[in-house]
Structures are given as C-alpha cells and as structure tokens.
Amino acid sequence: MQLSLQGKTYVIMGVANKRSIAWGIARALHAAGARLIFTYAGERFENEVKKLVATLEDDTALVLPCDVTKDEEIEACFAQIKEQVGVIHGLAHCIAFANKEHLEGEYMNVDREGFLLAHNISAYSLTAVAKAAKELMTEGGSIVTLTYLGGERVVQNYNVMGVAKASLEASVKYLANDLGKYGIRVNAISAGPIRTLSAKGVGDFNSILKEIEERAPLRRTTTQEEVGDTALFLFSDLSRGVTGEIIHVDSGYHILA
Ligand code: NDP
Ligand code: KAL
C-alpha cells in the first residue's frame, strides 16, 4: 500500500509560521500529493500563512479564517469549504492556547476564566471542528490532533495546559467512538518539545531540550518532519485500523521514569 494522498483533501488548522507543527504536517501531506486547505485564527497570521502557501508547488490552497472560540466562524469556515471543495478526507487540529501567566508557578493559581479559556481553545475546539468536518467527510476520513506528555504527567510549568490536554486526549477517544461508524478515525500525536512560536518565551526551553538529548532513548529532540510523517501515516490508509490512539513521537522520552 502506498502513502500517496493524491485526490484527497485535508484541512490544516494552526499554521502561525514556518516553525509551526501544522506546517510540518502540511509539507508532508503536500509531498504526498494531497490538496490542502488552511485556517488561521488572527488576522495577524493571515499574510504569514498566504506567504507559506505561495511556496508550495500547488499554491492554490484555500486560506480561511477560523477562530475556534467563535461558533459562527467555525460554521462559516466549513460552509465555505463545502461550497468550494465539497468532500474532505481529513483534518489536522494543531491549536492550543493558555494565558502566559498560567504557564508558570503553581497550577492552582489559575483562575476560572483562564481555566475555561485554555479548555475552550485547546480541548473543546477539537469536538466543535470534528462535528463540522464530519458533514464533509462523506467518504470517511481521519482527524489528527496534537498533544503533549504534560497531559498524562505533571510537567513543570505546563499547568492548566496539561489539564486541557488530558481533556483533549479523552475527547479523542469519545470522538473516535462516535465517528467510527461513519468511517472516520480520530487520533492524537503526542509530540516531544519543538521550538515553535508557542514555545517562545519559555524560560528554560533550552534545558528541556538538553534533557531530551541526554536521556531520551533516541538521544535527540523531535522534529517537525517526524511529526509530519506520523501524521501522513495517520491520514493514509496504512493506519486504517488505528483509532482513538495517542501516538508518542518524542524520541521515546515518555517511557522513562
Ligand atoms: P504554534 O504557535 O506554531 O501554533 C499554535 C497555533 O494555535 C497557532 O497557529 C494559533 O493560531 C493557534 N490558535 C491559538 N488560538 C486560536 C484560536 N482561538 N482559534 C484558532 N487557532 C488558534 O505552535 P505549535 O506548532 O507548537 O502548536 C501546535 C500544537 O502542537 C498545539 O496544540 C500544541 O499544544 C501542540 N504541541 C506542541 C509542542 C511543542 O513543543 N511545540 C509539543 C507537543 C504538542 P494563530 O497563529 O492564527 O493565532
Ligand atoms: C512544559 C513546557 C514548557 C512551556 C509551558 C507551557 C507551554 C504551553 C503551550 C501553550 C500553547 C503556549 C501558549 O499558549 C502561549 C501563549 O500564552 C502566548 N503566545 C502566543 O500568543 C503566540 C503568539 C501564539 C501563536 O501562540 C498560540 N498558542 O496561539 C511545554 C513544552 C516543553 C512543550 C510545548 C511548547 C507544548 C505545547 O503544547 O505547545
């Protein structure tokens, strides 16, 4: 069986710049011949996404706004995709956000508003977009989201984002159960730390990366390309028996005590 995605269409949510994991996934799918559609949240990243799309061989990809905190924007986005493209075969959800002040110190200092914001954008949004995408996945499909080890274990400073990722990972399983009967699979990739815009401003990111280089079974940090290739597998028929799964792409770091 080949990893060609020729004739298939995928929605990529969460490209902010060329370092985004979403862009690594986009490149892997593009190389396999897929047609891509991109969504962005804030206007500040619209031009960045359009600039990146222009570097692709097929630079005709649709680029649409979709702030996942707004139901009407999700609705309008998928209505436009339906009108312009019709059927889609997969969706990459690469979206997370928490207030900076809640990503340091003690977890319990998070307030109600910050807790709900992190869960709204980082966890609920998967369910909201999966429901919208299902209507367009009439030939079956594959949904992939991104998570981190901090959703399974306590990782310093990850705090409310860890609690949101736990919710996201449980959502993957419940959605997989709901959508399996329509031939739609739902999985997550638990990626090792990668230097992206989201990771910027994290004080000790260098020491986090150093620890991975020294201790992870593969003795190296995770790359966008590694995550992209696993996403390609999850979007292809090679993974047709896999759903509700959390696949770690982290040089094996998660097996360590
Ligand atoms: P980026 O900063 O490149 O991407 C984060 C994306 O989240 C941005 O594109 C941003 O969109 C989007 N986003 C934030 N708020 C909203 C919103 N309201 N509606 C729609 N989109 C929104 O970082 P990464 O590539 O690192 O992050 C992608 C995913 O990977 C996240 O889920 C993250 O938790 C996960 N992950 C990252 C790891 C890492 O080490 N980098 C490790 C493990 C998991 P916009 O730019 O348009 O605001
Ligand atoms: C333990 C780790 C160290 C870092 C701690 C927390 C990281 C949380 C990730 C979260 C997505 C970051 C933010 O929400 C940043 C946000 O407050 C400010 N940044 C922005 O607004 C930028 C401009 C936009 C583009 O960012 C977003 N997200 O919209 C975790 C490390 C080791 C691994 C990481 C980085 C995991 C992860 O989930 O990203």
Instruction: Look at residue 60 in the predicted model and tell me its pLDDT.
Output: 86
Query: Is the CB of residue 41 less than 8 Å from the CB of residue 68?
Result: yes
Ligand 2, atom 15, residue with closest C-alpha: 198
User: What ipTM, to 2 d.p.?
Assistant: 0.99
User: Token digits for 207?
Assistant: 């020491």
Measure 189 CA to ligand 1 centroid, in angstroms: 14
Residues 107, 158, 182, 253: which is the catalytic one?
A: 158
Distance between CA atoms of residues 35 and 30, nearest Å: 7
Residues in CB range of 57: below 8 A, 6 or more apart: 30
Domains of the chain: 9-252 (3.40.50.720)
What lines the ligand 1 site, CB under 6 Å?
14-16, 20-22, 40-42, 45, 67-69, 94-97, 121, 146-148, 191, 193-194, 196-199
Question: pLDDT tens, 89-111?
Answer: 999 999 999 999 999 999 999 99
Q: Which atom of ligand 1 is nearest to the CA of 147?
A: 44
Question: pLDDT tens, 129-156?
Answer: 999 999 999 999 999 999 999 999 999 9
Instruction: Look at residue 203 in the predicted model and tell me its pLDDT.
Output: 73
Residue 65, beta-bridge partner list: 40
